[in-house]
Amino acid sequence: MSAIAPTRVQATRAYRRKLGDYEITALSDGFVDLSFGVWQGIEQEAFDAALTDHFMPTGGFRNGITSFVINTGAKIIMIDAGAAGLFGPNSYHFPDNLAHAGLTAADIDLVIPTHAHPDHIGALLRDGQASLPNAEIRVNQTELDFWTSEAAQAKAPDFMRGWWDLVRGVDRAYAGRLTSFADNAALGDGITHMPFPGHTPGHSGYLIESAGEQLLIWGDLVVHHAIQFPHPQASMIFDIDPGLGHQSRLRGLDLAATDKLLTAATHLPFPTFGYVARRGDAYQWVPETWRYDVSGLAWQPVV
């Protein structure tokens, strides 16, 4: 009998689905463990009860980090770019994941971050240099203004202060390739910006449409499915304006539930595609059933 050591890494870190004529790939960039101490606006008893209701251990949780690749047939576009190890030792699978998805760093044409936290832009740099040799970066103007502001950095808590330096590093590394856009801008390729401020001043969602099908990628509008769907008032210490973030969350959840939008997000359980259902005054996340076929193969019952 042969003894084989466990790999401790999931074999599936890239997941594809069709969206109209586009192919969307979710890329897992590992995970980060967070305790109750990062939460605001919710008591620990309610927090633990919500985790228990989802058959999860209490006291904290393990949160996935996911980015998305859109293959339009003419371009390779990324929404967010992973953490590059900046959110702990378990959050740097980005280069391997590109290879796992049949891509190289040189294949990426455009990156559009939902916001500028390290787990969304960290992998844009490697040793201080641009990791994507051909990519353009597009950032919401409000977000870019905030994260390049020395005044905003001076007011930040100590644990966040270095995040401004990361954004300035990205700005330098992609000089001439980084541009900004206004709220509600149509970004081309069927992508429309949707402002969801609060988590950060320019925190963004993107509505992607192809051949009549839509997907809303909403960044950190909901950071944990067991907590913020039933308790949308709950916020985190990472939120710049928790009250505004709460308003944005309610608006986004209402939109997704009303329009029955397919959604995806950075920190929902991988591969993160799913729907929002109303539950009284709160909401519930309904994961999309795993898709066995990517090509859109017609249903073929054998009986």
The two structure tokens encoding residue 259: 């329009």
Give, in degrees to the nearest 5, the angle at Cα 116 between 111 and 166.
100
Are the C-beta atoms of residues 112 and 138 closer than 8 Å to each other? yes
- In this prediction, residue 197 carries a pLDDT of 98
- In this prediction, residue 149 carries a pLDDT of 97
CA pair distance 78, 57, nearest whole angstrom: 33
Are the C-beta atoms of residues 223 and 267 closer than 8 Å to each other? yes
The model carries a pTM of 0.94
CA pair distance 56, 51, nearest whole angstrom: 5
CA pair distance 163, 203, nearest whole angstrom: 15
**Which residue, chain included where needed, has tokens 């989802």?**
54
Choose among 28, 8, 26, 27: nearest CA to 18: 26
Question: Which residues in the chain belong to E strands, given as ranges?
Answer: 14-19, 22-35, 39-40, 60-71, 76-79, 110-111, 125-126, 129-130, 136-140, 178-181, 186-188, 191-195, 204-210, 213-217, 235-236, 262-264, 274-279, 282-287
Give, in degrees to the nearest 5, the angle at Cα 119 between 113 and 124.
60
Alpha-carbon distances of 238 from 6, 106, 169, 278, rounded to whole Å: 35, 32, 21, 26
Residue 130 burial (C-beta neighbours within 10 Å; 0-12, 13-18, 19+): buried
At 291-302, the pLDDT tens digits run 888 877 888 899
At 38-88, the pLDDT tens digits run 999 999 999 999 999 999 999 999 999 999 999 999 999 999 998 877 777
- Domains within the chain, CATH numbers bracketed: 14-210 (3.60.15.10)
CA pair distance 60, 48, nearest whole angstrom: 8
Choose among 300, 301, 302, 258: nearest CA to 276: 258
pLDDT in tens, the chain (303 residues): 567 887 777 777 899 999 999 999 999 988 989 999 999 999 999 999 999 999 999 999 999 999 999 999 999 999 999 887 777 777 776 777 788 889 999 999 999 999 999 999 999 998 899 999 999 999 999 999 999 999 999 999 999 999 999 999 999 999 999 999 999 999 999 999 999 999 999 999 999 999 999 999 999 999 999 999 999 999 999 999 999 999 999 999 999 999 999 999 999 999 999 999 999 999 999 999 998 888 778 888 998
- In this prediction, residue 1 carries a pLDDT of 57
- In this prediction, residue 84 carries a pLDDT of 78
The two structure tokens encoding residue 281: 């005054």
Q: Which long-range contacts (CB under 8 A, 24 or more apart) does 143-147 make?
A: 143/113, 143/115, 143/116, 143/200, 143/201, 143/202, 143/203, 143/204, 144/116, 144/171, 144/180, 144/202, 145/201, 145/202, 146/116, 146/200, 146/201, 146/202, 146/240, 147/116, 147/200
Across the beta sheet with 178-181, the strand order is: 14-19, 22-35, 60-71, 76-79, 110-111, 136-140, 178-181
